[in-house]
């Protein structure tokens, strides 16, 4: 137990609340709120717009934030990371500004129709726009527990595969993808959605098979509407830079990635606060977070499997390893929204509905733990679930 609920003002303000929707958005810890407040109270200059000391200082702080976030994500160089409004904007950027050059001579985009709409839609739009160039979107399957089917992946992959779009940790099932277990053709570029990994499990992007990645800041204790896009240096030449538009950004060339992704005014305060979220997580230790989440996920899975009518929608939690802390389940004969409402009445907040997926099962309910949750939270959830199951 990391015992840090007290670090989160939103949670200390509501001591009886069990918040289990971190995968949608995490509350901000005091350190991030303090950083954001300090940024807003300080010099108001736009990073790099103008040569006066305020503008120069804002630019310096922006680059410090970039270096901190890049180190947290395990990037080799800070210029491989640009700030975005979140993972959705970051993924759309990659499809719009990296995709057209990479696919100019045609090729297949492999994607999973069971992944988050923010992951999939930009690439489907690109395939549609570029079909006359010989670009195709080719689907691969996940099984009902959210594991990518390696045989189906191998069937979809070929020497035509140009891009593999994959999700590292699935937003409903909580399953982590092992890219090394997939038959990814050597010439293909992998684009990885790490929205549900960052802040939960270690990320070492420099060592990953993925050369492109997106991260959501507000799921890792950063302020709402923050995130990052990662492009390894070897892929920078494929980014379409609009030189004139780049001048509307921080007015300093960092890399083709930042030139293209950071057009216009930046949320410098958000970037600094996101960097402070990485310091907060580093202070705890990301390995400890993953271990803590594994303990909660295992306790939940054990307890839930003893409640009649509960079906778990994720693979078993492996002993000894870290876990995303995201778990999904269905309750026999009950709509997900009804189960969520029954839990809400007990002050337990979970996620039901469409889960931002294309046609998920209607009875799917997601719980997502984080470092402020403890075993009592899991037990309250299990009690609530048992009561909901009995009603049927």
Ligand X SMILES: Cc1ncc(COP(=O)(O)O)c(C=O)c1O
Chain contacts with ligand X (rule: CB under 6 A): 24, 86-88, 116, 118-119, 167, 171, 193, 195-196, 216, 227, 356
**Following DSSP, what letter does each residue of 302-357 receive, concatenated?**
HHHTTSTTEEE-SPPPPTTS----EEEEEETT--HHHHHHHHHTTTEE-B-TTTTS
For residues 150-181, b (16+ Cβ closer than 10 Å) or e, as one string? eeebeebbeebbbbbbbbbbbbbbbbbbeeee
Reference 89, options 227, 199, 222, 211; nearest CA is: 227
- Asked if 77 and 70 touch (Cβ cutoff 8 Å), the reply is yes
Nearer to ligand X, 214 or 348 (CB): 214
Task: Look at residue 27 and give its three-state secondary structure.
Answer: coil
**Following DSSP, what letter does each residue of 163-217 receive, concatenated?**
EEEEESB-TTT-PBP-GGGS---TTPEEEEE-TTTTTTS---GGGSSEEEEEEEG
Nearer to ligand X, 224 or 285 (CB): 224
Q: How far is the CB of 129 from ligand X (least distance, A)?
A: 21
Q: How far is the CB of 106 from ligand X (least distance, A)?
A: 27
Nearer to ligand X, 90 or 296 (CB): 90
Q: How far is the CB of 357 from ligand X (least distance, A)?
A: 10
Q: How far is the CB of 193 from ligand X (least distance, A)?
A: 5
Contacting residues for 353 by C-beta, under 8 A, at least 6 apart: 336, 337, 340
Nearer to ligand X, 24 or 46 (CB): 24
Name the β-bridge partners of 165.
191
Nearer to ligand X, 241 or 273 (CB): 273
Task: Look at residue 55 and give its three-state secondary structure.
Answer: helix
Radius of gyration of the chain (CA): 21
Q: How far is the CB of 167 from ligand X (least distance, A)?
A: 5
Q: In the chain, count H helices and then E strands.
A: 13, 12
Read off the tokens for 369: 């733990």
Q: How far is the CB of 40 from ligand X (least distance, A)?
A: 22
C-alpha to C-alpha distance for 11 and 153, rounded to whole angstroms = 42
Nearer to ligand X, 26 or 258 (CB): 26
Q: How far is the CB of 23 from ligand X (least distance, A)?
A: 6
Nearer to ligand X, 22 or 68 (CB): 22
3-state secondary structure 249-297: CCCCCCCHHHHHHCCCCCCHHHHHHHHHHHHHHHHHCHHHHHHHHHHHH
Nearer to ligand X, 88 or 334 (CB): 88
Nearer to ligand X, 107 or 322 (CB): 322
- Asked if 228 and 87 touch (Cβ cutoff 8 Å), the reply is no
C-alpha to C-alpha distance for 374 and 363, rounded to whole angstroms = 26
Nearer to ligand X, 182 or 357 (CB): 357
Q: How far is the CB of 114 from ligand X (least distance, A)?
A: 11
Question: What are the C-alpha distances in Å from 41 to residues 36, 45, 63, 269?
Answer: 9, 11, 19, 10
Q: How far is the CB of 220 from ligand X (least distance, A)?
A: 10
Q: How far is the CB of 323 from ligand X (least distance, A)?
A: 16
- In the bound state, the residue with its beta carbon closest to ligand X is 86
């Amino acid at each position: 137990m990391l015992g840090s609920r007290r670090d989160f003002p939103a949670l200390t303000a509501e001591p009886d609340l069990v918040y289990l929707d971190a995968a949608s958005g995490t509350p901000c810890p005091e350190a991030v709120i303090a950083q954001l407040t300090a940024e807003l109270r300080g010099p108001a200059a736009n990073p790099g717009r103008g040569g006066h000391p305020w503008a120069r200082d804002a630019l310096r702080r922006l680059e410090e934030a970039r270096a901190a976030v890049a180190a947290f994500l395990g990037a080799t160089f800070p210029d491989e990371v640009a700030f975005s409004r979140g993972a959705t904007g970051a993924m759309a950027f990659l499809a719009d500004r990296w995709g057209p050059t990479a696919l100019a001579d045609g090729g297949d985009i492999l994607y999973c129709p069971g992944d988050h709409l923010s992951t999939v839609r930009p690439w489907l739009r690109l395939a549609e726009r570029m079909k006359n160039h010989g670009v195709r979107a080719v689907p691969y399957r996940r099984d009902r527990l959210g594991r990518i089917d390696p045989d189906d992946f191998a069937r979809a992959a070929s020497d035509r595969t140009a891009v593999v779009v994959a999700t590292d940790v699935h937003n409903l099932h909580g399953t982590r993808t092992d890219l090394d277990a997939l038959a990814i053709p050597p010439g293909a570029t992998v684009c990885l959605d790490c929205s549900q990994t960052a802040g939960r499990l270690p990320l070492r992007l420099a060592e990953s098979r993925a050369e492109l990645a997106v991260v959501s800041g507000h799921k890792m204790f950063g302020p709402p509407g923050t995130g990052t896009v990662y492009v390894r240096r070897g892929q920078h030449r494929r980014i379409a830079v609009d030189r004139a538009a780049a001048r509307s950004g921080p007015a300093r060339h960092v890399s083709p990635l930042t030139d293209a992704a950071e057009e216009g005014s930046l949320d410098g305060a958000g970037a600094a606060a996101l960097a402070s979220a990485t310091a907060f997580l580093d202070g705890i230790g990301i390995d400890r977070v993953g271990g803590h989440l594994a303990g909660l996920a295992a306790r939940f899975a054990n307890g839930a499997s003893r409640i009649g009518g509960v079906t778990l929608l994720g693979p078993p939690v492996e002993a000894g390893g870290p876990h995303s802390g995201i778990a999904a389940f269905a309750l026999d004969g009950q709509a997900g929204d009804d189960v969520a409402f029954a839990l809400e009445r007990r002050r337990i907040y979970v996620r039901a509905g469409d889960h931002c997926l294309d046609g998920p099962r209607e009875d799917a309910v997601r719980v997502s733990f984080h470092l402020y949750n403890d075993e009592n939270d899991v037990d309250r959830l299990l009690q609530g679930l048992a009561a909901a199951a009995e009603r049927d």
